A and B are shown apart, each in its own frame.
Chain A
Amino acid sequence: MKVKYVLTAGVALGVLSGALASSAPALAADEIKIGDINSYTRLPAHTIPYRRGATLAVEEINKAGGVLGKKLVLVSRDDQGKPGEAVKVAEQLRSRDKVALISGSLFSHIGLALASWAKQRKALYLAAEPLADALVWAKGNNYTFRLRPSTYMQAAMLAAEAAKRKGAKRWATIAPNYAYGKDAVAAFQKVLKKLRPDVTFVGSQWPGLFKIDAGAEVQALAALKPDAIYNVTFGSDLAKFVREGRTRGLFKGKLIVGLLTGEPEYIDPLKGEAPVGWLVTGYPWQDIDTPEHKKFLVAYQARWNDYPRIGSIVGYNTMLAIQAMLKKAGSTDTDKMVAAMKGLSFDAPTGPITFRAVDHQSTMGAYVGWTVLKDGKGTMERWQYLDGAKYLPSVEETRKLRKQ
């Protein structure tokens, strides 16, 4: 009997000591660690390319001698798609792995959770992919920066292009029923209304994220009789929406605008059924012929034997930003790094990027163009790279947005 008490107590204590065993490995003096958190199991199709891009950049930087005489080390962790888990992992990366800063994340709510954490713990957080406007505006803080062009910026780019189409006056929208979808619709409506007071929005559909009942939504949209549709659905929702809309003839004779629809993550799974003639933001990686991008493309394909997605270029640019920031700060002291991030400029394969001091948003832009089928695959034509700086609110306006 005694033995069993000891045994069970041992199990209980063993679990506790398991917690202890997770204590710090020694910090190597000649490396700078970057804590990378992303939804690697929840949305692998989007986050694995991100990690590959980031890994490539880190390898290139280290091959060229590292930063400040030290090697960069990327410590990648999964957040399981849960904000609480992301905060726990951030704590672990900071206290156990002694990372200099946290970067990454894709979901907006996880980005916001990490931003709140960064403010409390006074740690630098470079949000890579989350799109929420609140991240740098309503809920922005001193320690949080964001690289990817936000919901507002991308919606504004599309609205500016859509405004040129005089025939499109009755607009309907369809967007997933959560914050990103709502922000994306609100931003588009705001900018388009400003440019074209004559347009009306006749209705909005809000399918649950990844739970679209496509036939019903297409019926509902058709019933609104719009002459233009703004689409924010993506992933499996988009595939169903496109198939159903095409079969039911919804898109015929209408201007269709799709946020992110041209990104390889979303258009490639559609294969030969990709929508044609939609105005979209995306990433036409095959056709970008600047020398900087060509160099990136060759290196990426050589390293991974795969083509880059939008996540890849964001991951790559994120690490370039961190490299430039460390060079400018000359230290891994958080205050110095935060000061260096403000106004930081660097050259990326997509063009020069600056982190605005006023709201910590980068000016990385997006590719806007028209979808087309080429060799049985969806891609973009007549596209142009729009610089993010031109689609951000002015400094005064931004100050107002940031004021709580």
Chain B
Amino acid sequence: MGEFVVTLLTGLSSAAALFLVASGLSIIFGVTRIVNFAHGSFYMLGAYIGVSAVHAVGGGAIGFWIAILIAAAAVGLIGVAMEVLLLRRIYRAPELFQLIATFGVILVIQDITLWIWGSEDLVGPRAPGFTGAVTILGQRLPEYDLVLIAVSPLVLAGLWLLFNRTRWGTLVRAATLDRQMVSALGVNQRWLFTGVLFLGSALAGLGGAIQLPKGGADLLMDFNIIAAAFVVVVVGGMGSIGGAFLAAMLIGLLQTFGIQIFPNSTLILMFLVMAVVLIFRPWGLLGQPEIPGHGVVEAPEAPLRPADRGLRIVGAAVLAVLLLLPVAHLIVPSLVGDFSLVLVIEIMIFVLFAAALHFIMGPGGMVSFGHAAFFGGGAYAAALLVKFAEAPMEIAFWAAPAGAALLAILFGWFCVRLTGVYFAMLTLAFAQIAWSIVFQWGEVTGGDDGILGTWPSDWASSRIAYYYMTVGFVVAGLLALRRILFAPFGYTLRAGRDSPLRAAAIGIDLKRHQWVAFTISGAFAGLAGALFVYSKGSVFPTAMEIARSFDALLMVLLGGVHSLTGPIVGATALTWLNDLFSELSYWRFLLGATIIGLVLLLPNGLVGLGETGFGRRLGAAPDREVPA
């Protein structure tokens, strides 16, 4: 009995930090519709600033709590800075574009944190007066756990009062429900957004600071919390704070009891919960379905156009350079080194991966946060054939697109029933489940020791041969994807994206089309995975981790989601920039700052470069109305 009670209390206390972070994320999303990936970074900053503040204020009985509040307020101000300097300038950009801006912020914050606080983990200061343990039914429970258990309901109550008893809170709730109506009534949305960013970021900072007595501050905290925070927000229902509370408690308890019964379940449990909830309650426990056309301001896109002469000439020129590169390598190896070929192979692989994601994301209107499942899934399908059947490349290679397609059929069946951010989150959940299985099932997949020895057959093992093979597959893949989009199937897909209602009214089975598109996209991502696994000679679970999915997302958004050339340009630029900067010691800062700069300069993506002339020709969307 004592064991049960203490385990229960432990679960409730471990949910506290998670609830604080998730509620902030939920508030920000609810009002601004920004999926703030930098929220984990705010949590990390809260912890680091908290440590410094405790040292500065002195960790006395009152000083400690003052320091915690200072940390929360400081992080809130950082959130405000992000809103005023960055996000405010790009509200007119396509939805989700803000996401890459927050991505750049993550990278910049990582390096700044390393620079200020150094690389060694910091152990958190203990809360004065709460360093011991209480004995409950013969079991010991840290006193600070009781503090944490009390904090969540207090914050929840405070937020409830704020949202239900103040004018500002009423406006925030109104904006969450219907942003257009609020602005039509003459409310200045800018200040509303700034205030919401402060509140949300401060909650993340508070979460980071308040967990200090249970842990500390380290440089991996940002990515470690962000997935969990998203799970809580989605399970609870996006924009619902009560839901976030419920979900955080649920997940905290499930984790605590789960690892006693299934010690191996630590990686997968949370995502299983999310998948189950989304399948049975697509808007989360306490969330509400979006009112069509009210939550989001999106102008219809300009129709895609077939390539005109100019684009064809450029395409042919690029292709010619690609084909002639190895020749140049043979003639002047001093100018075109071996590594040029390696880099172009890498670029081409990510171009195909990004194009596959763009296929559902742009024309399909389905944003996947978990596309690495198909990239890595394909890579693993090929590698497993090599490992267990010693299949030669000619056979194993094809297992990749086939395996990825099968995976996409399975995941797609569940996912296409959802839309928008919920769709994205379910793909993320499935990707994480797939990742956990690969990671955990050591006997078959080799766990995180991966599968080695996946090298090409002799005829393709020379660098030049593999180069041509890659170029061939990628170019063919790109043309095939393009062809499908200009076939009736592609038009149907786009019709469904622009108006699901009208598409249904003229008798289109939209879900089926989306399911097929999802599968096609998965297959091409798998093809990219096959090229990847044979170029590296090994595959590891990192091929399907969240970061890989986000890489692809970043490439598509950076290139320009409204254009077919966008993912190609985005993937090329990002892979190349990554290589260029990675030799420098603060490459993350440089890359992050470059991304932020590009976002500010080119709110329609890189292909928006020739905004009025060439860009529009490539299919970049025209400017849209400011939502204010």
Contact = CB atoms under 8 A, between A and B. Distances in A.
B256 A219 contact: yes
A223 interface: yes
B218 A235 contact: yes
Contacts of A235: 121, 218
Most buried by A among B224, B325, B342, B439: B342
Given A96-B339, A215-B145, A216-B259, A44 B450 contact: no
A177 interface: yes
B339 A112 contact: no
Interface stretch (A76-84, A316-324, A328-336): A76-84
Interface stretch (A11-19, A296-304, A394-402): A11-19
Interface stretch (B35-43, B416-424, B609-617): B609-617
A128 B139 CA distance: 45
Contacts of B10: 215-216, 219
Contacts of A5: 310, 313-314, 614
A155 B154 CA distance: 47
A222 B580 CA distance: 51
Contact of B133 (A78, A217, A220, A248): A248
A95 B141 contact: no
Contacts of B255: 213, 216
User: Interface of chain B, helix or strand or loop or mixed?
Assistant: helix
Interface string A21-44: 011100000000000000011001
B538 interface: yes
Nearest to A96: B339
A385 interface: no
A269 B325 CA distance: 51
Nearest to A18: B576
Most buried by A among B131, B334, B573, B614: B614
A249 to B, nearest CB: 5
Contacts of A4: 610, 613-614
Contacts of A12: 314, 317-318, 569, 572
A207 B263 CA distance: 8
A85 interface: yes
A119 B452 CA distance: 10
Interface in B236-285: 255-256, 259-260, 263-264, 266-267
Interface stretch (B295-303, B511-519, B582-590): B582-590
Nearest to B338: A95
B314 A22 contact: no
B157 to A, nearest CB: 24
Given A215-B145, A247-B140, A84 B532 contact: yes
A84 B536 contact: yes
Interface in B496-542: 532, 536-538, 540, 542
A134 B449 contact: yes
Interface in A83-109: 83-85, 87-89, 91-92, 95-96, 108-109
Contacts of B219: 44
Contacts of A139: 449, 452
A23 B334 CA distance: 7
A106 to B, nearest CB: 13
Nearest to A208: B266
A177 B13 CA distance: 23
Interface string B1-22: 0010011001101100000000
B321 A16 contact: yes
B513 to A, nearest CB: 32
A83 B440 contact: no
B259 A205 contact: yes
Given A219-B7, A220-B263, 20 more contacts: A9-B313, A16-B318, A18-B576, A19-B343, A22-B343, A23-B335, A87-B538, A88-B579, A95-B339, A112-B449, A179-B442, A206-B264, A215-B142, A216-B14, A216-B255, A223-B3, A236-B221, A247-B132, A268-B120, A269-B121
13 contacts: A12-B318, A16-B322, A20-B340, A44-B114, A84-B543, A95-B342, A113-B452, A214-B214, A215-B214, A215-B256, A219-B10, A240-B216, A249-B133
